[in-house]
Chains A and B, each alone.
Chain A
Amino acid sequence: MEKILLRLVYLFRPLISGRGIDFEKMLVIVDTKLKMDQRRVYMNWRQGKRKENSNHLMIALFFYGFMGFVMGSIIYLIDNFLTIMIFTHAYILFMMAMILITDFSSVLLDTTDNQVILPRPVSSKTLFMARLIHILIYLFQFTMAIAAGSVLFTFLKYGMITGIAFVFTTVLTVLLAVFLTYFLYLAILHISNEQRIREIITYFQIFMMVFFTIGLQVLPRLLNVIDVRQVVDLKGYMYALPPVWMALTVDAFRLMQFDSVHIVMMVLSFLIPGSGFWILFKYLAPGFAKRITALQGTSNKTIGEEKNFGKIERGSLSDRIAEIACNTPAEKGSFGFTWKVTGRDRNFRMQFYPGLAYILIFFFIFVIRGGKSIAENWQQLPETNNYLWLIYLSMLSVSSSLTIVAYNDSYAASWIYHSTPVKKPGEIILGMIKSLFIKYFIPVYIVLFLIALNIWGIKVADDFVFGFFSNMLCFLVLAVLSDHYLPFSRQPDTKQQAGRFFVIMIQFLLVGALVGLHYVLISRPLLLYAVIPLLILGIVIILRTLRALPWSKIAI
């Protein structure tokens, strides 16, 4: 693959060489960068096993290619040309922008280049050309993966001319995506700093993962609901959307019809990406490079310091909650520590937040299930008891924080637990569990409660009160029966200990029993309130057990 691409670059040799560009050195840089691209761990593919030798790039490309093929097949299956074209262009634009923001950002924002290549005898023009070609190859690979399926089916169904027009609009759409991404970065860089940009990228990445998880689960279900065959009727504002320009441009060539609307759309679809690119090269790119270079070293030290000073004065939110929720200093310390690190550690957020998306997915699968249409189900919803799912859905995804919290890249720093005179590590575990419960469970539960209140009315309140204690007990059952790791003390990627099947079964049975109990008692307030004291008793017992955990029970 690499070799083919490089040979392709060779074809352009006469165009590139000369004018201060050393072609051989440029090729060496491009070659190395392509090699590194393959080894980079693609952000969206984190969950899977990481193998050093696997080619991450190929896996990502293959996945996008497969999705592109499925999308493309719609072109073949459905006859409404304009709708499908708008849809396809929107898909290409969205995917390309997302890939650029989430994956390519690490390449764009990488300042290692400056330190590795600048001290070597390479002219700045050579380096610039190498970067440009690297970006073009990157775009080429992903454009192929995303759009090849659509292009193929367009050629098959609508013939040469439409197909060629579609290839052109695809390229234009990609250019537009590049321009928009660049512009987004520049805007963020303008108002803030590198730290912030990385933050924002993290959220885009989380969004992307949520999008894929939901998309893969929910889209097939939605497909039979939304009638794709119906004709989009273009209203005024729709003419402002780039996919509509592109679609109408291709449409003009398909029908060979060049009326005023088609002409205007064609002009727009060439002019906007074209002039956007011109602006990019002429004005934005030089400033961008300078800003990126300036980012190095002198980051946001001053801003960070100021922020922290204010916090100490006021006492942060977590500290104030810790005062109420925890007893001993060690517990309070662990509570605040867990609260802060989970909020700041990128890996924790990357692993935890997408899990919350499952609430939404399960909402679709369980709450609004059934073979009938969604609208019909939705109307019947108030007559069902499906809010029981809502009560326990939050547990389902929030409980993952219990395992994730053990891992951290700076796991080695956990020596601090061992070098300080911690008599009862149970206090640390307890502080951590309380922190996770209050920070992640309660807000989610309140949101779900409000949703349920909206659909079913006030009668669910009793069940949610019961559910709160029941969930808390479930959470504690999971915590007390799992291996006890101190917060952020494990090396990422270490394997789960084997032989835990039995424990997992017990956890499953206990949680199942609690949900079952709730199912039996559902909507019987008197009985529900009668059982709550029993739940509280269970909670107190487990809290005591956890607090008393000795060192011998702590897993390392």
Chain B
Amino acid sequence: MSVITIDRLCKIYDANYVLKYISLSFEAGQIIGYIGPNGAGKSTTIKILTGIIGDFEGDVTVLGMDVRKDSLAIKQKIGYIPENAALYDVLTPVEYLDFVGRLYGMEKQIIHKKSTELLHLFDLGSKMDQRMSGFSKGMRQKVLLISGLMHNPEIIFLDEPLSGLDANAVILVKEILAQLKKAGKTIFYSSHIMDVVEKLSDRIVIINKGEVIADGTFESLQQQASSGSLENIFTTLTGNQEHESTAGAFISVINN
């Protein structure tokens, strides 16, 4: 059964197409890597799927529900971890998680139990009652991860989840994602870090200028682009092959 279906999705901003007739559907229990250059429409897609933007053309269903009509019911069953570490940093992690948890309708005691345990697992136990304004990007990211997963969602949307995390935390988060997948959850994941996407994803979707330009497993993409790593596939497909000449020009300017 497909948990996400996107049918001829279009999004227009200021008379420009951000997304052009995108049609995709995803099965449960997969890790989906969603990649593309800056401004390709990744974040917009995720915002539409999570019901944050309701103003678009086409049909989108998540867990069998229409995102326009049932956005509240969908939001209850999904988790969203945004990229730019936006949270209320005058609160402490415990207070913030309590706030978010209650917006999901969770009981105070359950939130408290879960959040303290999860914070300890993320090595934030000692910082639990400090305000987050002094937190590093990685620490904030950990709190955001907990806030998006605490209510045990069916689908997890992550926008650049690994940015700012140290190497150990990256390994930990990758393992968490892998185990979530084993538990039957669907993970929709956008990132710039190609080798992580390459290793983690069951299916990779590349978009460029609002259009899907590649879709399939890593192996099938390799065949399609007839080149080695995902990085190479990416540059081949997004048509950005002037890197070498740009780099050459760069060097020659330095030498002047």
Of residues 78 through 118 on chain B, the ones whose CB sits less than 8 Å from some CB of chain A are 80, 82, 84, 86-88, 90-91, 95, 99-100, 102-105
Of residues 77 through 118 on chain A, the ones whose CB sits less than 8 Å from some CB of chain B are 112, 114-118
Residues of B within 8 A of A25 (CB): 102-103, 105
Q: Are the C-beta atoms of A112 and B86 separated by less than 8 Å? A: yes
Using known A-B contacts A28-B103, A121-B76, determine if residue A36 contacts B90 with beta carbons closer than 8 Å: yes
Of residues 40 through 76 on chain B, the ones whose CB sits less than 8 Å from some CB of chain A are 50-52, 72-73, 75-76
Cβ of A32 to closest chain B Cβ, rounded Å:
5
Bound complex: CA of A539 vs CA of B11, how far in Å?
65
Q: Are the C-beta atoms of B90 and A120 separated by less than 8 Å? A: no
Residues of B within 8 A of A121 (CB): 72-73, 75-76, 103-105
Q: Are the C-beta atoms of B88 and A116 separated by less than 8 Å? A: yes
Using known A-B contacts A39-B90, A112-B87, determine if residue A117 contacts B103 with beta carbons closer than 8 Å: yes
| 8 Å CB contact of B99 from A24, A32, A52, A114 | A32
Using known A-B contacts A36-B90, A118-B52, A121-B72, determine if residue A28 contacts B95 with beta carbons closer than 8 Å: no
Let me know if B131 is at the binding interface, CB within 8 A: yes
Cβ of A170 to closest chain B Cβ, rounded Å:
31
0/1 per residue, A110-136, Cβ < 8 Å to B? 001011111111110000000000000
26 contacts between A and B (CB under 8 A): A25-B102, A25-B105, A29-B99, A32-B91, A35-B91, A35-B95, A36-B88, A36-B90, A36-B91, A39-B90, A39-B91, A112-B86, A112-B88, A114-B52, A115-B86, A117-B103, A119-B50, A119-B51, A119-B52, A119-B148, A120-B75, A120-B100, A120-B103, A120-B104, A121-B105, A122-B72
Residues of B within 8 A of A28 (CB): 99, 102-103
Bound complex: CA of A234 vs CA of B86, how far in Å?
54
Apart from A28-B102, A28-B103, A32-B99, 17 more pairs, CB < 8 Å? A25-B103, A28-B99, A29-B103, A32-B88, A36-B88, A112-B86, A115-B86, A116-B86, A116-B88, A116-B100, A118-B52, A119-B51, A120-B75, A120-B100, A121-B76, A121-B103, A121-B104
Chain B residue nearest to A110 (CB atoms) is: B88
Using known A-B contacts A32-B91, A36-B90, A112-B88, determine if residue A119 contacts B80 with beta carbons closer than 8 Å: yes
Question: Which bucket holds chain A's interface residue count?
Answer: 20 to 34
Bound complex: CA of A40 vs CA of B91, how far in Å?
10
Residues of A within 8 A of B72 (CB): 121-123
Cβ of B8 to closest chain A Cβ, rounded Å:
24
Task: Name the prevailing secondary structure of the B interface residues.
Answer: loop
Bound complex: CA of A117 vs CA of B88, how far in Å?
11
Question: Which interface residue of B72, B76, B103 has the most chain A CB atoms within 10 A?
Answer: B103
Residues of B within 8 A of A117 (CB): 103
Chain A residue nearest to B78 (CB atoms) is: A119
Q: Are the C-beta atoms of A122 and B103 separated by less than 8 Å? A: yes
Q: Are the C-beta atoms of B131 and A52 separated by less than 8 Å? A: yes
Residues of A within 8 A of B102 (CB): 24-25, 28
Residues of A within 8 A of B76 (CB): 121
Bound complex: CA of A121 vs CA of B102, how far in Å?
10
Bound complex: CA of A35 vs CA of B80, how far in Å?
24
Chain B residue nearest to A120 (CB atoms) is: B103
Question: Which interface residue of A114, A120, A121 has the most chain B CB atoms within 10 A?
Answer: A120
Residues of B within 8 A of A35 (CB): 91, 95
Bound complex: CA of A116 vs CA of B99, how far in Å?
10
Chain B residue nearest to A28 (CB atoms) is: B102
List 3 tightest A-B contacts by C-beta distance, closest first. Answer: A115-B86, A121-B75, A119-B80
Q: Are the C-beta atoms of A39 and B131 separated by less than 8 Å? A: yes
Bound complex: CA of A339 vs CA of B221, how far in Å?
53
Bound complex: CA of A45 vs CA of B72, how far in Å?
40
Of residues 157 through 184 on chain A, the ones whose CB sits less than 8 Å from some CB of chain B are none
Bound complex: CA of A438 vs CA of B75, how far in Å?
58
